[in-house]
């Protein structure tokens, strides 16, 4: 009687080196703006960042960090706001960051006007 051995799956080893596989998955779905910024920064060197972002856009992900961008209610947002009324400085900064998000999406080959709904 012989035992059949399954082929070695190298993708399992590759996936283990992805930031979203190495760290606590809750980091990518946190309510804390600081933790979401950390998750975004960890995505920066990920070899699957562009594919992850494209997949999230295609699926209309409702929330979380995908491909180095924050999604909230199915829209890409420049940063997560804390609870409460935003300060005027934060509103101005959000406008600047929205432009930056559009530029990053365009750099990744995603046309933000047709592919992604950006939150105001």
Q: Is 20 annotated as ligand-binding? A: yes
Instruction: Give 77's contacts (C-beta < 8 A, 6+ positions apart).
Output: 70, 71, 101, 118, 119
- The SS3 of residue 72 is strand
Q: Is 59 annotated as ligand-binding? A: no
Q: Is 6 annotated as ligand-binding? A: no
Q: Compute the C-alpha angle 33/110/91, nearest 5°.
A: 35
The encoded tokens of residue 84 equal 């409460």
Q: Is 51 annotated as ligand-binding? A: no
The encoded tokens of residue 52 equal 């992850």
HSE-up (13 A, CA, CB side) for residue 36: 20
Taking the C-alpha atoms of residue 23 and residue 10, their distance in angstroms, rounded to an integer, is 20
- Which segments are annotated as binding site? 20, 43, 46, 52
Binding site for [4Fe-4S] cluster: which residues? 20, 43, 46, 52
């Amino acid at each position: 009687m012989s035992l059949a051995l399954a082929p070695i799956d190298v993708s399992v080893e590759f996936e283990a080196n992805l930031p979203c596989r190495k760290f606590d998955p809750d980091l990518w779905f946190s309510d804390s703006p600081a933790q979401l910024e950390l998750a975004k920064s960890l995505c920066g060197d990920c070899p699957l960042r562009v594919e992850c972002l494209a997949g999230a856009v295609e699926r209309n992900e409702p929330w979380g960090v995908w491909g180095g961008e924050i999604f909230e209610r199915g829209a890409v947002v420049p940063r997560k706001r804390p609870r409460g009324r935003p300060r005027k400085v934060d509103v101005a900064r959000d406008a600047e960051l929205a432009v930056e998000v559009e530029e990053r999406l365009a750099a990744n080959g995603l046309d933000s006007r047709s592919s992604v709904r950006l939150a105001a």
